[in-house]
């Protein structure tokens, strides 16, 4: 007979905290981690005042600041060391890292060096190594997984980086890894004994977009979900199925009789789907790198008579700058670009009218609290129900509006 049956008053959310929470951040997105700490402090302070659970008096439960004092020292040789300014013994550590940060520089012997994703990864390993054996548990929140573009083995003459990264984290004692919207969720097969969770950004991205642009109607006659290529179909299908919208895709028609640089060249992009004329478009991708794929697809949709094109991606990298997006916005090719704040963005981006940011701080905070209490995170990380309910709520509002007219 199970303990759950013998103890009918058992509640998952009533489990004791795994340990006092400690948050470590070492990248340019430190401000994000500080916001998470501030929100966590606010929520737990309210619970402590109301004595809403019997763990509020646990040492370290309610604090004014959960950020651990740390220092990352760089030497002119390019080497580095990571040090803790306070004890983490017995803590439940959450390392929030952004391997895409690109605005931190340090001086070498005769030049300056911009810290790369490789540098950030090595810093992450340093943090884990100094916490290992002292912290009660180590958790890594890495929204954009390092080397995530090498999640499959295309050739035995190429490195299989993503699997090696995850194996390294596991060997160093990491208990949980939180990754947002990876290229392929099957990467967890590389470390079957380590917990990997894949929260989705879709709900927050969609709700942020609909809050900003109330003119978007979630019905089959007004809006279509489009994937810029066949490789991103799974993400577009997710939006399409749960918002109950039509789906379109641009298919690469390749010339398989020719090979250039190891790849078959694309003869043309063919659109497969319903007519887009006069309809709003939710253009879905996993990331915006230079923006060439998104903008070229948006241009094709615009030329086909689409009404407004809204580009949606969890990660906006903008490696070629913002000018191409400014031009596309001025020409009416795109209406907005919606991304999360899970990776670092320069302050300049907020001055562009086309940019819309979905705030993921409350979501990350909730995930940390759930893990700290060993609470089930299935419903929390699953956007399916929340996205469907969002679409249903919007339709109800439209119905009420019609009756009120």
The pLDDT tens digits of the residues spanning 97-112 come to 999 888 788 888 878 8
The Cα-based distances of 377 to 17, 100, 374 in angstroms read 15, 26, 9
Structural fold of domain 17-199: Rossmann fold (3.40.50)
Which is higher by pLDDT, 163 or 394?
163
**C-alpha to C-alpha distance for 398 and 394, rounded to whole angstroms:** 6
- For residue 8, name the pLDDT band (cuts at 50, 70, 90): low
Task: Encode pLDDT of 12-22 as tens digits.
Answer: 556 788 899 99
Two structure tokens written together for 373: 């209490």
pLDDT of residue 387: 67
CA 250 → CA 233, 293, 313, distances in Å? 10, 11, 17
Average of per-residue pLDDT across 226-238: 88
Q: pLDDT (tens digit, 9 = 90+) per residue, 283-332?
A: 999 899 889 889 999 999 999 999 999 999 999 999 889 999 999 999 99
Contact 142, 99 (CB under 8 A): yes
pLDDT of residue 266: 67
Judged against a pLDDT cut of 50, whether residue 139 lies above it is answered with yes
Mean pLDDT computed over 240-260: 82
| Token pair listed for 176 | 């949980």
Cross-strand pairs, 271:
250
Beta bridge partners of 74: 80
The confidence score (pLDDT) of residue 83 equals 94
Least confident range of 48-57, 60-69, 162-171, 281-290? 48-57
User: Which numeric CATH code is attached to 202-341+386-398?
Assistant: 3.40.50.2020
Say yes or no to pLDDT of 154 above 90. Answer: no
Span 345-356, mean pLDDT? 94
Q: What's residue 180's pLDDT?
A: 92
Q: Are the C-beta atoms of 367 and 381 separated by less than 8 Å? A: yes
Q: Which of 371, 399, 392 is nearest to 12 (CA)?
A: 371
Average pLDDT over residues 205-218: 91
Q: For the residues 344-364, what does the mean pLDDT come to?
A: 94
| Region class of 269: left (phi > 0), else alpha (psi between -120 and 50), else beta | beta
pLDDT reading at 66 higher than 80 = yes
pLDDT at 324: 95
Tokens standing for 16? 């004791």
281: tokens are 């478009």
Higher pLDDT among residues 96 and 190, named by residue: 96
Residue 231 confidence class, pLDDT cut points 50, 70, 90: confident
Q: At what angle do helices 292-303 and 323-330 cross, to 10 degrees?
A: 10
**268 vs 116, higher pLDDT:** 116
* pLDDT value of position 332: 96
Residue 11 pLDDT class (50, 70, 90 cuts): low
Higher pLDDT, 405 or 257: 257
Query: Taking the model in full, what pTM does it have?
Result: 0.87
pLDDT of residue 374: 86
CATH 3.40.50.2020 segments of the chain: 17-199, 202-341+386-398
User: Can you tell me the mean pLDDT for 121-139?
Assistant: 95
Confidence of residue 91 (pLDDT cuts 50, 70, 90): very high
Residues 174 and 127: beta-carbon distance below 8 Å: no
- Whether 383 and 203 have beta carbons less than 8 Å apart is answered as yes
Mean pLDDT of 24-37: 91
The two beta strands, 247-254 and 92-96, are unpaired
């Amino acid at each position: 007979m199970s303990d759950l049956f013998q103890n009918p008053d058992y509640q998952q959310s009533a489990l004791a905290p795994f340990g006092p929470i400690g948050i470590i951040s070492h990248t340019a997105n430190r401000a994000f981690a500080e916001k998470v700490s501030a929100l966590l402090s606010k929520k737990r302070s309210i619970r402590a005042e109301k004595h809403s659970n019997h763990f509020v008096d646990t040492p370290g439960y309610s604090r004014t600041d959960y950020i651990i004092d740390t220092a990352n020292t760089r030497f002119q040789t390019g080497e580095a060391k990571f040090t803790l300014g306070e004890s983490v013994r017995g803590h439940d550590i959450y390392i929030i890292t952004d391997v895409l940060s690109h605005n931190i520089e340090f001086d070498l012997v005769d030049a300056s060096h911009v810290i790369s994703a490789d540098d950030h990864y090595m810093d992450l390993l340093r943090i884990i190594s100094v916490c290992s054996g002292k912290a009660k548990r180590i958790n890594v929140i890495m929204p954009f997984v390092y080397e995530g573009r090498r999640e499959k083995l295309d050739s035995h003459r190429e490195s299989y980086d993503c699997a090696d990264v995850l194996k390294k984290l596991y060997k160093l004692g990491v208990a949980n890894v939180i990754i947002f919207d990876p290229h392929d969720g099957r990467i967890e097969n590389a470390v079957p004994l380590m917990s990997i969770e894949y929260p989705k950004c879709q709900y927050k991205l969609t709700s942020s977009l609909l809050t900003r642009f109330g003119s978007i109607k979630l019905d089959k006659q007004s809006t279509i979900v489009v994937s810029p290529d066949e490789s991103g179909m799974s993400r577009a299908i997710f939006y399409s199925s749960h918002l109950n919208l039509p789906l379109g895709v641009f298919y690469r028609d390749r010339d398989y009789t020719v090979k250039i640089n190891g790849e078959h060249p694309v003869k043309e992009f063919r659109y497969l789907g319903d007519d887009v004329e006069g309809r709003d478009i939710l253009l879905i991708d996993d990331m915006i790198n230079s923006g060439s794929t998104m903008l070229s697809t948006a241009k094709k949709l615009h030329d086909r008579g689409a009404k407004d094109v809204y580009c949606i991606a969890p990660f906006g990298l903008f490696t070629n700058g913002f000018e191409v997006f400014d031009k596309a916005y001025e020409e009416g090719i795109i209406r907005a670009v919606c991304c999360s704040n899970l990776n670092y963005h320069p302050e300049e981006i907020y001055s562009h009218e086309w940019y819309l940011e979905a705030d993921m701080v409350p979501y990350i905070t909730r995930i940390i609290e759930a893990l700290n209490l060993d609470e089930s995170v299935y419903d929390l990380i699953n956007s399916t129900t929340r996205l469907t309910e969002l679409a249903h709520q919007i339709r109800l509002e439209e119905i009420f509006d019609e009756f009120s007219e």
